[in-house]
Structure 1
């Protein structure tokens, strides 16, 4: 299950339990809509409560990243999992966004907020 929050210039996604293809499609629709009308956005992807993801989600993630290389400014991934960290770095090959992995939500939000304020990374 996912919960998506949107504010101007930012999309926040929290994943709980199993991350399914249906969840990913919901994420794709929100980001596609937001990027179309607002331009590139910042993304906070909180995967700390994710229990598992299906193989089709992993494939869709790569396909989505390749199709939308310019839709993001910064991507902050919150996780404790080394596997998710590795997966995030793989996605980084296809997007032109600045992507970082965090274990602390406050640090992730502060990093994203720096971009909004026009501060250097």
Structure 2
């Protein structure tokens, strides 16, 4: 299950439990709309409550990232999971957005707002 919160030029996504293809499609709808009407947007993915993901969701994420390589400004990922951190690093090859991983919400929010924070 996911929740999305739309802000100006930004989308906040929180994932609870298993991240499924249906969840990702919900995110895609919001992202496509925002990009179409606002241009490049920033993302905050809170994955601290995620306990896994489906293979079809992972494949869709790669497809979507390749199709929207220039549509995102900054992507902040909240997690303390090393596997998720590694996959976030890998996603940098598919998008030209600045992607960073954070453990603290305030640091992620500040960075998305333009305040530089040390890279973890």
Give the TM-score band, short-chain normalised: over 0.9
Q: Does 1:18 align with 2:14?
A: no
Give the corresponding residue for 1:73.
Answer: 73
Residue ranges of structure 2 left out of the alignment (5+ in a row): none
Q: 1:120 to 1:49 in 2, by over 3 A?
A: closer
Q: CA deviation at 1:26?
A: 0.4
Q: CA deviation at 1:120?
A: 6.3
Q: Over the residues paired in the alignment, what is the CA RMSD in angstroms? A: 1.2
TM-score by length of 1: 0.93
Asked whether the equivalents of residues 110 and 116 of structure 2 are also in contact (C-alpha less than 8 Å), the reply is: no
Q: Does 1:99 align with 2:99?
A: yes
* Distance in 1 separating the partners of 2:40 and 2:72: 5
Q: CA deviation at 1:57?
A: 1.0
TM-score by length of 2: 0.94
Q: CA deviation at 1:92?
A: 1.0
* 1:54-73 to 2 correspondences below 5 Å: 54-73=54-73
* Distance in 1 separating the partners of 2:50 and 2:20: 11
Deviations 1:10-36, CA, capped at 9 Å, x for gaps: 100000001000000000110011000
1:24 aligns to what SS in structure 2?
helix
